[in-house]
A and B are shown apart, each in its own frame.
Chain A
């Protein structure tokens, strides 16, 4: 199925996993693409591991549950260990190398190591490692137009937290530079 991108975002609760997925699907909505966003729910969202399935497609989305991702974004070690084997051959893995201390041993996938948490801390963007990784994903995959991504960001940040928008834009840009 061409023109379908299955993304799995995974990490600890509080790392902005669900938020990142939301920015992606809102960006896709701007371009009237078919999309779905499905969070893991239940006890794991209360402090444990958390993941989110995002599908962006030119055709109707079948299963919103991503079991074999084209793209895996792993923000902690347990997530990488759990999902590394599920990525499709030829797929892409983005790893926050400042929180994950292992390497991907597979050779049939493209892996990008971005010290996202460290970069965020160093650039006054604490808590925005997720958006830095999204910037990197955008650089490599460019799944929507840049203005759509920005519009997606604006949709996801409530007006009363408008100050956060600039920080998120900076994080996105920083990610694109990696």
Chain B
């Protein structure tokens, strides 16, 4: 069906997962990601796949570890408090070099927080989703179309570099309907799985999927090797979008839901004669520093807009390195900023 259809972001994620060849979903109910589970619970049995509602988020992520560790495309989805519960399993998945997909349809925090859209898990996703030295490949969609497009990309990148991937979405993108186009046929590029624990069939030495290295020097070696792979990810996989930044005096940096609102604010500012532009990181890790760096010489000021108290701004500041002022506008707790509010922040600069 290469025609435009209307779908909720959560449903688009589910449909895209099926089209990407994912046949194993393990989840636990939580608002506002529920439609994704509901969609896959309906569709998975029809394609001979596994939909399993686990007893907890913790169990679900460990089922992903088992399934993905045995070589299949497996995923789980949740929202902020549930992602915190998954952090143990994510750390093991990273430490065992297992590719898997974790979807976070963010809501307000900390604690039980709210169920309204938020971006306050940026740090969790990009810096510390679990203990130990590791990273996830993190994609931040801003439309329902990107929700769909990023699923296969996430699986492929995860498999290429043998690391977990996350789609960092939010309640707004998950709940909203927008037109989305799925290609007639999705080509599935599955990575090498010769390391998987799925039975050696008496044809090879036994595989061990493991994150334990009792000798410190052995652990250091594996972690250093993993970071060499991360360097390749940094070099090859940065993604971003620049909108009207070439001549912009004020460059907004925003991702996901807040980038959409920021784009409207940029248009409104331009209509008032203010040269504003938008830089939208699409990969949050690796952070698209190469493209952002290109804008630093020409921009006069940066305004970071987030649905949190200021998290990504630290990565922007690292790139800008004090050469230009970097200011912040944010709403939090589940509030989506309005274009008017952002325009006001632009005008104040």
Contacts and interface: CB of A to CB of B under 8 A. Distances in A.
Interface string B160-187: 0000000000011001111100000000
Given A41-B32, A62-B265, 20 more contacts: A1-B267, A25-B177, A26-B6, A29-B6, A29-B179, A32-B4, A35-B179, A36-B178, A41-B115, A41-B171, A42-B32, A42-B115, A42-B116, A61-B260, A62-B261, A63-B336, A63-B338, A63-B339, A64-B260, A68-B340
A65 B261 CA distance: 9
B172 A65 contact: yes
Interface in A86-115: none
B263 interface: yes
Given A35-B178, A61-B260, A42 B6 contact: no
Interface in B246-269: 260-265, 267-268
A67 interface: yes
B177 A36 contact: yes
B6 A37 contact: yes
Contacts of A165: none
Interface residues of A, number: 23
Interface string B83-123: 00000000000000000000000000000000110000000
A61 B178 contact: yes
Contacts of A1: 264, 267-268
B41 interface: no
Given A60-B263, A67-B338, A41 B175 contact: yes
3 closest A-B pairs by beta carbon, nearest first, are A62-B264, A37-B177, A38-B176
Contacts of B339: 62-63
Nearest to B179: A29
B50 interface: no
Contacts of A67: 338
A23 to B, nearest CB: 11
Contacts of A64: 172, 176, 178, 260
A39 interface: yes
B245 interface: no
Q: Which of A26, A42, A59, A67 has most B Cβ within 10 Å?
A: A42
A64 B177 CA distance: 9
A63 B143 CA distance: 11
Q: Which of B31, B176, B336 has most A Cβ within 10 Å?
A: B176
Nearest to B114: A42
B264 A25 contact: no
B96 to A, nearest CB: 36
Contact of A38 (B175, B261, B263): B175
Contacts of B172: 38, 64-65
A63 B260 contact: yes
Contacts of B265: 62
Interface of A: 1, 22, 25-26, 29, 32, 34-39, 41-42, 59-65, 67-68
A173 B300 CA distance: 56
Interface of B: 4, 6, 31-32, 115-116, 171-172, 175-179, 260-265, 267-268, 336, 338-340
Contacts of B32: 41-42
A37 B267 CA distance: 21
Contacts of B338: 63, 65, 67-68
A120 to B, nearest CB: 26
A63 B115 contact: no
B179 A37 contact: no
29 contacts: A1-B268, A22-B177, A25-B6, A26-B6, A29-B4, A32-B4, A35-B179, A36-B176, A36-B178, A37-B6, A37-B176, A38-B177, A39-B175, A41-B31, A41-B171, A41-B175, A42-B115, A61-B260, A62-B262, A62-B263, A62-B267, A63-B336, A64-B178, A64-B260, A65-B336, A65-B338, A67-B338, A68-B338, A68-B340
Contacts of A39: 175
A32 B179 CA distance: 9
A22 B267 CA distance: 27
A67 B261 CA distance: 12
Nearest to A26: B6
Contacts of A38: 172, 175-177
Nearest to B171: A41
A123 to B, nearest CB: 30
Q: Which of B32, B115, B179, B261 has most A Cβ within 10 Å?
A: B179
A42 B175 CA distance: 11
A35 B265 CA distance: 18
Nearest to A62: B264
A25 B176 CA distance: 12
A37 B11 CA distance: 14
A63 B264 contact: yes
